[in-house]
Structure 1
Amino acid sequence: DKVNELDGIPLILDNCNISDSNPFLTQWVIYAIRNLTEDNSQNQDLIAKMEEQGLADASLLKKVGFEVEKKGEKLILKSTRDTPKP
């Protein structure tokens, strides 16, 4: 409950990005949110009421040849590289 009182949940979610220096950061964020929402309806309600603010910066994905496309409620990871012809 203390994390919620200190407005920590949005801060934790803000760190859910791809990082060269910490490739497991996204997994740690997911684990933290799981722990904060398990058997805690107040934290679950807070997250449920959040509004989408768009896609995060995907510049690292572009560097390695991918892009994210939003289709309805789904995010699709697509390669930007040309597919080799058989």
Structure 2
Amino acid sequence: MTPETVIHLGYQAMKLTLIVSAPILLTALAVGLLVSLFQAATQINEMTLSFIPKILAIVAIIILTGPWVLGTLGDFTRNLFHEIPQMIG
């Protein structure tokens, strides 16, 4: 296994991690921003107010994107196992 192969696999894994986690992170960011704007407009400074909407939005996104995430991770793992013979020899 050459160093280039290891770097390529690491790059693919990090890229996949970013792609798979992006919907969840962007949802949490958007909901947090909206709740912060609501808190600023109403001058409600409750720290736990942003927690429940974020959790509900993240659960909804996980339910919506779960099959896609599992399929993407499965494809990556399947391709990784199919490439093992070329990596070794």
**TM-score, scaled relative to structure 2:** 0.32
- If each structure's helix is expressed as a fraction of its own residues, which one has the higher value? 2
- If each structure's strand is expressed as a fraction of its own residues, which one has the higher value? 1
**TM-score, scaled relative to structure 1:** 0.33
Q: Choose 1 or 2 for highest CA Rg.
A: 2
- Of structures 1 and 2, the one with the larger relative CO (CA 8 A, separation 6+) is 2
